[in-house]
Amino acid sequence: MAQGIRVGVFGSNGKVGRAIVAGIEAADDLVYTAGVDKGDAPEFFSDTDTQVVVDFTHPDVVMNNLKFLIENGIHAVVGTTGFTDERLAQVGEWLSAAPGVGVLIAPNFAIGAVLSMRFAQAAARFYDSVEVIELHHPNKADAPSGTAYRTASLIAEARAAAGVGKSPDATTAELEGARGAEVDGVRVHSIRLAGLVAHQEVLLGTQGETLTIRHDSMDRTSFVPGVLLGVRGIGDRPGLTVGLDDLLDL
């Protein structure tokens, strides 16, 4: 049997899944065991002694996938979006019955995206106004993006802790949607445009100045190093880990 961590992929034929499979196959310390796509049996993973499974599928199916993995003692590294607090609590409950199993769920595995969320969190208390714009390819199912949700929550937390109120806004007449959605009181705007991959801007403003924190994933290979970091680390992190920050020592 080949040596290394035995890794499978849920959603292996998807846009990100294909990049992850190539990344696993190129790594000397990892062995690609199985890919499971829509209609395939997840038992492929247990039948091939898979130790870690990466999931890039769809918000509608990821919870079932995770239940299967946890019940079968397989660690998971999850990029699929759609994780509400309720979903995270459910995963935590499943994990409490499976000591030793680790699950990492991160809204964005691109290193620059993780850093940009941190930068936005640090800057949030210094500015009167903050809004988030996320820009993605038109095949994306969810809006706002998981990254934008997390960014807005981190910004809101930082502003609340510093006693900073809501961003000023005199709008009284509005075409529905014109001011975007609100996540924890922070405005988030979603653009879907052919030609884009995954991009985000956090705009901050105060008297006489603005600051823009922008991240661009130009290619889906941008997610691979973060995912492989998770794959290598998750076996030593039983329980639920949310976000890549701890694995990057941030």
Ligand X SMILES: O=C(O)C1=N[C@H](C(=O)O)C[C@H](O)C1
Ligand Y SMILES: NC(=O)C1=CN([C@@H]2O[C@H](COP(=O)(O)OP(=O)(O)OC[C@H]3O[C@@H](n4cnc5c(N)ncnc54)[C@H](OP(=O)(O)O)[C@@H]3O)[C@@H](O)[C@H]2O)C=CC1
Closest by Cα among 81, 149, 133, 120 to 211: 120
Using CB under 6 A as the binding rule, whether residue 107 contacts ligand X is answered as: yes
Site for ligand X in 3-62 (CB under 6 A): none
**Which of ligand Y, ligand X, none interacts with 51 (beta carbon under 5 to 8 A by kind)?**
none
Residue type, 56: F
Asked if 151 contacts 190 with a C-beta cutoff of 8 angstroms, the reply is no
C-alpha count within 13 angstroms, C-beta hemisphere, residue 154: 22
Catalytic residue from among 58, 67, 75, 140: 140
Closest by Cα among 73, 65, 78 to 17: 78
136 is annotated as an active-site residue: yes
> Which of 198-230 are b and which e, b meaning 16 or more Cβ less than 10 Å from the residue's Cβ?
bbbbbbbbeeeeeeebebbbeebebbbebbbbb
Catalytic residue from among 75, 136, 189, 215: 136
SS3 state of residue 218: coil
Q: Which of 12, 50, 51, 81 binds ligand X (CB under 6 A)?
A: 81
| Residue 179: C-alpha distances to residues 111, 167, 170, 183, 205 (Å) | 29, 12, 11, 12, 16
Q: Which of 147, 151, 190, 241 binds ligand X (CB under 6 A)?
A: 147
**Which of ligand X, ligand Y, none interacts with 116 (beta carbon under 5 to 8 A by kind)?**
none
Q: Which is nearer to ligand X, 34 or 198 (CB)?
A: 198
Site for ligand X in 189-228 (CB under 6 A): 198
Q: Which is nearer to ligand X, 29 or 219 (CB)?
A: 219
Within 10 angstroms of residue 147's Cβ, the number of other Cβ atoms is 25
Residue 117 phi, psi (nearest 5) = -65, -40
Q: Which of 121, 145, 190, 241 binds ligand X (CB under 6 A)?
A: 145
Q: Which is nearer to ligand Y, 179 or 214 (CB)?
A: 214
- Which residues lie near ligand Y (CB under 6 A)? 10-11, 13-17, 36-38, 56-59, 61, 79-81, 106-109, 146, 223
Q: How far is the CB of 184 from ligand X (least distance, A)?
A: 16
Q: Which is nearer to ligand X, 159 or 215 (CB)?
A: 215
SS3 state of residue 37: coil
- Catalytic amino acids? 136, 140
Instruction: Show binding-site residues.
Output: 11-16, 37-38, 79-81, 106-109, 137, 146-147
Instruction: Write out the residues near ligand X by the rule CB under 6 A.
Output: 81, 107-108, 136, 140, 145-147, 198
